[in-house]
Amino acid sequence: MTLTLPVANPHAQYLSHQAEIDQAIAAALGGNRYILGPQTQAFEAEFAAYTGLQYGVGVGSGTDAVHLAIRALGIGAGDEVISVAHTAVATVSAIEQAGATPVLIDIDPITYTLEPGLIERAITPRTRAILPVHLYGSPADLSPIVDLARQHI
């Protein structure tokens, strides 16, 4: 079964939250602190509380977020990270920025996400992580991916 989300409509999303968004932008511009200011600190605290974690870290992009996560796991030179061949360059870039080698495997032809049945044969002694990518509104099938990671990594 393919789960897909409707096509995004950022303008409609903006309009539904326009007053709050405009107020937040005005506060950031008025405070003249665009990086690591009070808005960032508030976001990090609210995000941590929302997720039930002790900390939240705001970053500049999804690439930065993936790179930071890979580095936080101690993954670097000589390590391999399995991911999906059909992904944005940012996925591979984040792996390479950490010094690791991306190992790209084929997709599930229905969801275009990581094909769990192909992962096990790509695992080597140098494999340190499996990085699934959710795409086009279809989430990767995480249960078998997590099971394989627990067994082999």
> What are the chain's domains?
12-51 (no CATH), 62-152 (3.40.640.10)
Burial class (CB in 10 A: 0-12, 13-18, 19+), 47: middle
- Residue 3 structure tokens: 């789960």
Residue at 44: amino acid letter: E
Beta bridge partners of 130: 82
Residue pLDDT tens, the chain, 153 long: 566 656 668 899 999 999 999 998 998 889 888 888 888 999 999 999 999 999 999 998 999 999 999 999 999 999 999 999 999 999 999 999 999 999 999 999 988 999 999 999 999 999 999 999 998 888 999 999 999 999 998
Distance CA 153, CA 149 (A): 5
**pLDDT at 86 (0 to 100):** 93
